[in-house]
Amino acid sequence: MRRRLLGLALILGLMIALFNLAAAQESRDDAWAVLIGQDFVRYVPGIEEWNLYFWVVGDGWKSSPAKLTNIKVVADGVTLPLDTVEFKEAPWVKANGRLTEAQVREIRQAALSEAIAPQDIQRLEALTKQLTAILEEVPAATLTIKRALPEGQHLVEVYLSYEKDGLMVNLVENTEVVISAIPKASGWFSADPHIHSTYSDSNASHGTIKSELTKRGYYIGYLTDHTNKLISSNNFPNMNGAYPKACKNVSTSTTSLFPGIEMRIGHKILGVWNGDGHCLGYGVTSTTNLDDNTYGAQVGLRNINGNNSPKSSSAIAHPTHDVYKWEDWTVTYYYGIELMSGPQLAFDYNASPVKKWRSECARLAAWNSFRPSVRTGSDAHSISGFKSYVTHVKLASDTTWNNGTWEQRRSAVDTALKNGKTTISRKGSLAYFTANGYDVGSAFIPPSGSVSFYIYFKPVVSGTYNLYLFRDNLAGTVWSKLTQSLTANSAYGWTTTYPLPSGRHYYWLYVVGGGGEWCYTTPIYITKPSS
């Protein structure tokens, strides 16, 4: 019900904005404007100053700047005092015919939906990427709210009034704000493993990133700055370089930053370089043999893996990105793939990055020495670019993190990433399962022809959830729990015994519900013993 109310409020807000605009512009029927904000934001309890980010995108207006005449912020139906609200304006973004008003409205309404029709996903993803490219042309406007909200789920409505071309334009946008710690269980630590800093193409310093991650409840932030910048500035020749030192200097056991890389790979055609995508490097100790635009896909992955073997590991970034998508799907020995990255509209198992991951799990099922584990990444190039995605990483124990050195924490994280000990979530919920006590990312042969599964789920928001344990690429449903009404930050567990089919198969957990939550786990690979 809460999700439906939020969705209706968002749609109603957009309709009000467009109605007010239409009423004010009888002489400018071609002009339109829409206020675009974040659909979901999560902060930890007790934060007394936090930010929301907005853009006004429109078309058909003159070049004169818009003048802000009024702002009102409403939290859960209560108007916030003006002395608790600070708004830093930004210029309106010009669509210039690249998107229509109707398309922007469709994107925003689709962002509220828990299920997008499969036949619409590709088209809507393309529109979302176009909108993202438009919004990146100007900085976001920043709304700072200097007031702590109680723990739980909230609806924040923002009303802006502008004078533009002699007309009054009234806009409204709504954001679901969740005040909650990221769900935790023994050994599991929350991470954002794809972030950029001022050491490449972001305006966010290490200190700013660490502070923001702490406010959002992350233990781990993996910086993945571009190697061309790191090499040209000589900031990562080894672990004594400025880049890794900056990570270590700001780190605590509350939130630690670790130095990684993002590298462009590709090939040449008639002497002209053609990009084939981006790969990420974790556990690396330098940029040696990690130059941008130099290596083919398999060689690039191999160079990352060999940079600091056995700790270093490679992963595929934003695999279905419209510009930087991964092209070579014959590669082996990569250890992760992003199912949620940057601005993204669809997250169910028919979303393009998830479909690619599913097909890769099937293609690589026979391999024992690496896993295409599930990953997320903000791919943030500014603070406004942070997403609420979470990669949960399973360490051998809590002790290393809580009592260890920065080097020991980094080593534990790198080992877990390489071994595929990950699950992911769009909003932050923790979902995992074990098979005969084996964690995600494991491969084993049980002593008998059946196996005992334990399924664990701790949601970040209350709501109704559906949980599925799948075999292979949706070949069968091993177990499910449907329409479960669950409470935020409460732990739930289920067990089931399953007679194994012959041969080797992999199993993975999928969770959907809670007003736009999706969770995936890295598979467990099980081979039925011969009789």
How far apart are the two ends of the chain, measured CA to CA in Å?
A: 51
In the chain, domain spans = 2-179, 181-428, 429-531
Query: How far is the CA of 453 from the CAs of 108, 389, 476, 485, 508, in angstroms?
Result: 39, 26, 15, 22, 11
The rounded distance, in Å, linking the Cα atoms of 495 and 486 is 17
The rounded distance, in Å, linking the Cα atoms of 204 and 380 is 9
Burial 318-346 (b: 16+ CB within 10 A, else e): bbbbeebbbebeebeebbbbbbbbbbbbb
Domain 181-428 sits in CATH 3.10.290.10: no
- Residue 20: what pLDDT? 46
- Residue 2: what pLDDT? 41
Letter for the amino acid at 391? T
Superfamily of domain 2-179: Immunoglobulins (2.60.40.10)
HEC per residue, 368-382: CCCCCEEEEECCECC
CA count, 13 A, side-chain hemisphere, 497: 4
As a CATH number, domain 429-531 is: 2.60.40.10
Which among 327, 367, 6, 352 is positioned nearest to 174, based on CA atoms? 6
The rounded distance, in Å, linking the Cα atoms of 429 and 288 is 37
The rounded distance, in Å, linking the Cα atoms of 117 and 110 is 10
- Residue 5: what pLDDT? 39
Which among 155, 139, 253 is positioned nearest to 202, based on CA atoms? 139
- Residue 29: what pLDDT? 60
CA count, 13 A, side-chain hemisphere, 426: 25
Q: Which residues have C-beta within 8 Å of that of residue 309, sequence separation ≥ 6?
A: none
DSSP letter (8 states) at residue 438 = B
Domains 181-428 and 429-531 alike in fold: no
The rounded distance, in Å, linking the Cα atoms of 261 and 243 is 11
The rounded distance, in Å, linking the Cα atoms of 99 and 410 is 44
Give the chain's largest Cα–Cα span. 82
- Residue 323: what pLDDT? 83
HEC per residue, 227-256: HHHHHHCCCCCCCCCHHHHHHHHHCCCCCE
- Residue 12: what pLDDT? 40
H or E, element range at 514: none
- Residue 1: what pLDDT? 40
* pLDDT, one tens digit for every residue, the chain (531 residues): 444 334 444 444 444 444 444 444 433 568 999 999 999 999 999 999 999 999 999 999 988 899 999 999 999 999 999 999 999 999 999 999 999 999 998 988 887 776 788 888 888 888 988 998 899 899 999 999 999 999 999 999 999 999 999 999 999 999 999 999 999 999 999 999 999 999 999 999 999 999 999 999 999 999 999 999 999 999 999 999 999 999 999 999 999 999 999 999 999 887 888 889 999 999 999 999 999 999 999 999 999 999 999 999 999 999 998 889 999 999 999 999 999 999 898 899 999 999 999 999 999 999 988 989 999 999 999 999 999 999 999 999 999 999 999 999 999 999 999 999 999 999 999 999 999 999 999 999 999 999 999 999 999 999 999 999 999 999 999 999 998 899 999 999 999 999 999 999 999 999 999 989 999 999 999 999 987
Peptide bond connecting 310 to the previous residue in cis, omega within 30 degrees of 0? yes
Cβ of 422: how many Cβ atoms within 10 Å? 27
